[in-house]
Amino acid sequence: MIKYIKDFILKENIELGSMYSLLKLSPADGIMPDMIPGQFVQVDIKGSKNTFLRRPISINFVDKEMNLLWLLVRRAGEGTSTLISAPAGEAINLILPLGNGFSLDNGKMLLIGGGVGVAPLLYLGKILSEKDSNVSFLLGARSKQDLLELEEFKKYGEVFVSTEDGSMGEKGFVTTHSILNDKFDLIQCCGPLPMMKAVAKIARLHNTQCEVSLENVMACGIGACLCCVEDTTEGNVCVCKEGPVFNIDKLKW
Amino acid sequence: MVDLSVKIGQLELKNPVLTASGTFGYGEEFSDFIDLNRLGGFIVKGTTLNPREGNPYPRMVETPSGMLNAVGLQNKGVDYFIQHIYPRIKDVNSQIIVNVSGASIPDYVAVCEKLQPLNKIAAVEINISCPNVKQGGMAFGTTCAGAASVTKEVRKAFNRTMIVKLSPNVTDITEIASAAEAEGADAVSLTNTFLGMAINTETRRPYLSTITGGLSGACIRPIAVRMVWQVANTVKIPVVGLGGIMNGRDAIEFILAGATAIQVGTANFIDPSVTVKIIDYIENYMQRHGIASMQELIGGMLK
Write the pLDDT tens digit of every residue in B34-90: 999 999 999 999 999 999 999 999 999 999 999 999 999 999 999 999 999 999 999
CATH number of the A215-253 domain? 2.10.240.10
A200 touches A187 (CB < 8 A): no
- Mean pLDDT computed over A207-211: 97
- Quote the pLDDT of residue B199: 98
Confidence of residue B133 (pLDDT cuts 50, 70, 90): confident
Pairwise pLDDT comparison (A200 vs A47), residue with the higher score: A200
A31: CB partners within 8 A, 6+ apart: none
Q: What letter represents residue A205's amino acid?
A: L
Q: Tell me the average pLDDT of chain A.
A: 96
Task: Output the DSSP codes for B36-97.
Answer: GGGSSEEEEEEE-SS-B--PPSP-EEEETTEEEE-----B--HHHIIIIIHHHHTT-SSEEE
To the nearest whole number, what is the mean pLDDT of chain B?
96
pLDDT of residue B136: 64
Q: Quick check: A52 contacting B, CB < 8 Å? A: yes
> Which of the four pLDDT bands, split at 50, 70 and 90, describes residue B134?
low
**Each residue's pLDDT tens digit, A131-145:** 989 999 999 999 998
Cβ-contact A162, A140 below 8 angstroms: yes
Q: Is the pLDDT of residue A75 over 90?
A: yes
pLDDT, position B131: 73
Residue B184's nearest CA partner among B156, B212, B208, B204 is B156
Q: Where are the domains of chain B?
A: 6-54+72-195+216-297
Q: For residue B280, what are the β-bridge partners?
A: none
- Residues comprising chain A, all counted: 253
**Coil/strand/helix, residue B213:** strand
Residue B137: pLDDT over 70? no
* Min Cα–Cα distance to chain A from B290, Å: 33
Does A226 contact chain B (CB < 8 Å)?
yes
Cα–Cα distance between A245 and A232 in angstroms, integer?
12
Q: Round to whole Å and give the CA distance between A106 and A127.
A: 11
pLDDT at A201: 96
Q: Which residues of B touch A77 (CB under 8 A)?
A: none
Mutate to test the interface with B, among A45, A96, A98, A226 (most CBs of B within 10 A): A226
**From B112, B130, B144, B219, active-site residue:** B130
- Per-residue pLDDT, B1: 84
pLDDT value at position A215? Answer: 92
Q: What is the pLDDT of residue B138?
A: 72
A52-69: average pLDDT: 97
Taking the C-alpha atoms of residue B173 and residue A25, their distance in angstroms, rounded to an integer, is 49
Which of A15-24, B208-217, B291-300 has the least mean pLDDT?
A15-24
C-alpha dihedral sign at A125, A126, A127, A130: positive
Q: Is the pLDDT of residue B135 over 70?
A: no
Kindly list the residues from chain A whose CB atom is less than 8 angstroms away from the CB atom of residue B24.
224
Taking CA–CA distances from B22, the nearest residue in chain A reads: A225
What CATH number should be reported for the domain whose range is B6-54+72-195+216-297?
Answer: 3.20.20.70
What whole-number distance in Å separates Cα of residue B173 and Cα of residue B152?
18
Neighbouring residues of B276: CB distance < 8 A, sequence distance ≥ 6: B34, B35, B38, B39
How crowded is the C-beta side of B233, counted as CA atoms within 13 Å?
A: 10
Task: Name residues whose C-beta falls within 8 Å of residue B227's C-beta, 6 or more positions apart in sequence.
Answer: B168, B173, B190, B191, B243
Q: From B268, B281, B280, B246, select the one nearest B30 (Cα to Cα).
A: B268
Q: Closest by alpha carbon to A60, among A74, A80, A81?
A: A74
Q: Does A9 touch chain B (CB under 8 A)?
A: no
Q: What is the pLDDT of residues B250-302, one digit of tens each?
A: 999 999 999 999 999 999 999 999 999 999 999 999 999 999 999 999 999 99
Instruction: Please name the helix (run of DSSP H) or strand (run of DSSP E) that holds residue B294, with its range, or none.
Output: helix B294-297
If you average pLDDT over residues A97-115, what whole number do you get? 96
Measured from the Cβ of residue A15, the count of other Cβ atoms closer than 10 Å reads 11
Beta carbons within 8 Å of B91's beta carbon, 6+ residues apart? B120
Report the alpha-carbon distance of residue B17 to residue B30 in Å, rounded. 15
Q: Which residue of A has its CA nearest to B208?
A: A227
Q: How confident is the model at residue B139 (pLDDT cuts 50, 70, 90)?
A: confident
Domain ranges of chain A: 4-98, 108-213, 215-253
Contact call for B269 and A219, based on CB within 8 A: yes
Dihedral, CA atoms, B54, B55, B58, B64, nearest 10 degrees? -80
Q: Which long-range contacts (CB under 8 A, 24 or more apart) does B78-85 make?
A: B78/B47, B78/B48, B78/B49, B78/B110, B78/B111, B78/B114, B78/B115, B79/B114, B80/B51, B81/B44, B81/B47, B82/B114, B82/B115, B82/B118, B85/B26, B85/B44
Segment B178-190 mean pLDDT: 98
Q: Using a pLDDT cut of 70, give the percent of chain A over it.
A: 100
In whole angstroms, give the CA distance from residue B167 to residue B263. Answer: 15
C-alpha distances in Å from residue B76, one per residue of B50, B100, B131: 7, 13, 19
Determine how β-strand B205-206 pairs with β-strand B199-200.
antiparallel
Torsion, Cα of B44, A222, A42, B271 (10° steps)? 30
In DSSP terms, A251 is beta-bridged to: A232
DSSP string, A99-155: S-------SEEEEEEEGGGGHHHHHHHHHHHHTT-EEEEEEEESSGGG--SHHHHHT
Amino acid letter, A213 = S
Topology adopted by domain A108-213:
Rossmann fold (3.40.50)
Does B132 have pLDDT greater than 80? no
CA nearest to B185, candidates B240, B110, B256: B240
Q: With bands split at pLDDT 50, 70 and 90, how would you rate the model's confidence at A17?
A: confident
- CA A193 from chain center: how many Å? 13
Residue from the list A3, A44, A235 with its beta carbon closest to the beta carbon of B33: A3
Say if residue A207's pLDDT is above 70.
yes
Residue B103 and residue B132: Cα distance in Å, rounded?
12
CATH number belonging to domain A4-98: 2.40.30.10
Nearest to B163 by CA among B137, B215, B194, B128: B128
- Would you say how long chain B is, in residues? 303
Task: Give the residue from B45, B202, B207, B269 with the most A CB atoms within 10 Å of its CB, the best one to mutate.
Answer: B269
Is B130 assigned a catalytic role?
yes
Mean local confidence (pLDDT), A154-170: 97
Contact B209, B70 (CB under 8 A): yes
| Tens of pLDDT, residues B185-201 | 999 999 999 999 999 99
Q: How much is the pTM?
A: 0.96
C-alpha closest to that of B128 among B85, B96, B165, B89: B165
Percent of chain A with pLDDT over 90: 96
* Chain B touched by A34 (CB under 8 Å): no
Predicted pLDDT of residue A79: 95
